[in-house]
A = this chain, B = another copy of it.
């Protein structure tokens, strides 16, 4: 068959990287720098801005999959043969045999150490989220897959968290496979689970992660019965017969209130008479708020007030927010209790979550911060026209400062050998004149955010997997200011440098600017 596993592995294995990582690796090898220890920081620069709404925090995600990948991939003969086939402009080999032999001996990412903020935690721009240390050439090859895994999953976990917040505790189901980016649909499923979706419709990835997938039926099932001369209710009856205790019916194939809901109620009554409890209905088109109210009214009148109403169709956090606002306003007019209705709603959220509609990429980067030289770490800096893009230099630590209310008030970067103690002076990362002073009595706790994820040569720590990540997310959100959690125009959370790190940054900018001009 065409998709031989060896071929499949080529595009999912260690060659899942950009070519320039390998050309740079060979240069480092040739310069005697390939095994020189280096440190790279991964961070993102800006929160997603969806246009009409903006994120005030992100949910960190992706490390579990990155670890799986890092621990599975190797430079085997197939991979080395690919590189061996590369030709210089003049026709000779682009990669020399001694370099390929070194790659083969190194094999993979065994020598890499990773520290970072655990998955599920709230994270902010310009702070080091993942810190990589290892041989320079190997760190370089890791750049692309690391960013690929972490950028996308953090993006989607963030979107899912917003959707879950908009749903006010209602169950969110991830339904995005059909319009997600190829096999990236699996990463969307995982990230959505970390970020706040309770389940997904994706069978394979759910199984891999240890979750059951969710879903019942589509319009096509009703259409089959119609095409064969039956009615919508025949389709519903057939479904109820096969799934008497799991009967959730999609009611909008013909007409939601004229046909779908009455037919569903008739079938539910038949189920009830046979001793089964119907699960509910799904609404997939039209004015979902109005239809949910009317459907609830009809279900209540028939004694099915314990059934679920699943909403789907182009949902995102704003759509859900608006639907719930409309229900709060409109339900009482029809004699429907708005809180009771909201308590029975669930949300199938697809395309807009899996693509992070409005902001489809996170701008995470992976930057060299230090190189080992003569027994010391030499900090690296990249000068840029834009002050906001100048790197915070050297190896760093990241702390979260909680105020007197116990709320997170700032994330603070320090040098590697600093342990911040109150009172604190917090420097703005790019504006030299801006700083903030926190007296000791305003600081209730200072927490280091990064943990050891992987020591060289040892399996990485999955930190409890997805359920633990979900718990960390909930705990962090509870400690975040509501203004920062706001769906639209959120309050800006403070990200700061310690005085010593700030001083180092200023002096390195001066040096590097001098060096560049010289």
A binding-site residues for B, Cβ under 8 Å: 1-3, 5, 7-8, 10-24, 26-28, 30-31, 33, 38, 40, 65, 67-69, 71-72, 82, 85-90, 92, 94, 136, 140, 143-144, 147-149, 151-153, 175, 177-188, 201-205, 207-208, 212-221, 223-224, 226-229, 231-232, 238-239, 241-243, 245-246, 253-255, 258-259, 277, 279, 285-286, 351, 354-357, 360-364, 367-368, 370-371, 373, 378-385, 459, 462, 512, 515-518
Task: Tell whether, in the assembled complex, residue A215 and residue B361 are in contact, meaning their CB atoms are under 8 Å apart.
Answer: no
Of all chain B residues, which has the CB nearest A356?
B360
With A20-B218, A227-B368 as given contacts, are A182 and B187 in contact (CB-CB < 8 Å)?
yes
Task: Tell whether, in the assembled complex, residue B11 and residue A186 are in contact, meaning their CB atoms are under 8 Å apart.
Answer: yes
Residue in B24, B202, B221, B286 whose beta carbon sits within 8 Å of that of A24 in the complex: B221
Contacts of A239 in B (CB 8 A): 27
Residue in B10, B184, B204, B356 whose beta carbon sits within 8 Å of that of A180 in the complex: B184
Most B CB contacts (10 A, CB to CB) among A12, A14, A94, A188 go to: A12
Task: Tell whether, in the assembled complex, residue A217 and residue B27 are in contact, meaning their CB atoms are under 8 Å apart.
Answer: yes
Task: Tell whether, in the assembled complex, residue B285 and residue A385 are in contact, meaning their CB atoms are under 8 Å apart.
Answer: yes
The minimal Cβ–Cβ distance linking A487 to chain B, given in whole angstroms, is 19
Contacts of A40 in B (CB 8 A): 220
Task: Tell whether, in the assembled complex, residue B151 and residue A17 are in contact, meaning their CB atoms are under 8 Å apart.
Answer: no
Task: Tell whether, in the assembled complex, residue A182 and residue B148 are in contact, meaning their CB atoms are under 8 Å apart.
Answer: yes
Task: Tell whether, in the assembled complex, residue A185 and residue B148 are in contact, meaning their CB atoms are under 8 Å apart.
Answer: yes
Residue in B184, B224, B363 whose beta carbon sits within 8 Å of that of A187 in the complex: B184
Task: Tell whether, in the assembled complex, residue A19 and residue B215 are in contact, meaning their CB atoms are under 8 Å apart.
Answer: yes
Of all chain B residues, which has the CB nearest A362?
B179
Contacts of A7 in B (CB 8 A): 208
Of all chain B residues, which has the CB nearest A511?
B226
Residue in B71, B186, B258, B285 whose beta carbon sits within 8 Å of that of A2 in the complex: B71
Contacts of A221 in B (CB 8 A): 24, 27
The minimal Cβ–Cβ distance linking A209 to chain B, given in whole angstroms, is 8
Task: Tell whether, in the assembled complex, residue B89 and residue A18 are in contact, meaning their CB atoms are under 8 Å apart.
Answer: no
With A148-B177, A181-B187, A512-B254 as given contacts, are A204 and B10 in contact (CB-CB < 8 Å)?
yes
With A2-B72, A149-B182 as given contacts, are A19 and B362 in contact (CB-CB < 8 Å)?
no
In the bound complex, how far is the Cα of B202 from the Cα of A240, in angstroms?
Answer: 49
With A27-B238, A89-B246, A242-B26 as given contacts, are A72 and B182 in contact (CB-CB < 8 Å)?
no
The minimal Cβ–Cβ distance linking A355 to chain B, given in whole angstroms, is 4
Further 20 A-B residue pairs, CB within 8 A, beyond A254-B515, A255-B383: A5-B5, A20-B216, A22-B203, A30-B241, A88-B246, A143-B218, A148-B185, A149-B182, A151-B179, A153-B182, A179-B363, A181-B181, A223-B368, A223-B380, A223-B382, A227-B368, A227-B380, A231-B515, A254-B512, A255-B516
Residue in B24, B151, B243, B279 whose beta carbon sits within 8 Å of that of A218 in the complex: B24
Contacts of A22 in B (CB 8 A): 203
In the bound complex, how far is the Cα of B363 from the Cα of A368, in angstroms?
Answer: 40
In the bound complex, how far is the Cα of B356 from the Cα of A351, in angstroms?
Answer: 13
With A1-B71, A208-B7, A238-B31 as given contacts, are A148 and B178 in contact (CB-CB < 8 Å)?
yes
Residue in B86, B201, B226, B370 whose beta carbon sits within 8 Å of that of A512 in the complex: B226
Contacts of A512 in B (CB 8 A): 226, 254
The minimal Cβ–Cβ distance linking A50 to chain B, given in whole angstroms, is 11
In the bound complex, how far is the Cα of B155 from the Cα of A171, in angstroms?
Answer: 30
